Amino acid sequence: MTQSPPPTMYAVASRDRLKLLMERTGTGEAITSRELAAAAEVSHGTIGALMSGAQRSVPEVKAKAIAAVLGVDLLVLWVPMERSGRGFVPAQVAV
């Protein structure tokens, strides 16, 4: 059996950018973390952890869903990480 490769992970480019995009989504309306989680079909804990910095990355499917709900292109909010599994986060990702 052939194992499928692990999903591409995406690191949030900036917690501040995530918060800013939640204050004014693509529709011009604000969205709460609970509303974002429900609309993107991710846990509220994931959104909270991304906002606080406790979590920096999510699988591609979640990154795309969050970006879509916020009304932005994927790479406006996310930075792709290497696939090697070493946990590399690019330098442009805000700490």
**Contact yes or no for 22/31 (Cβ under 8 A):** yes
Q: What confidence score (pLDDT) does residue 1 get? A: 64
- β-bridge partners, 12: 78
- Kindly give the parts of the chain with pLDDT less than 70: 1, 82-95
Cβ atoms of 8 and 59 within 8 Å: the answer is yes
Query: The pTM is what?
Result: 0.82
> Can you give the length of the chain in residues?
95
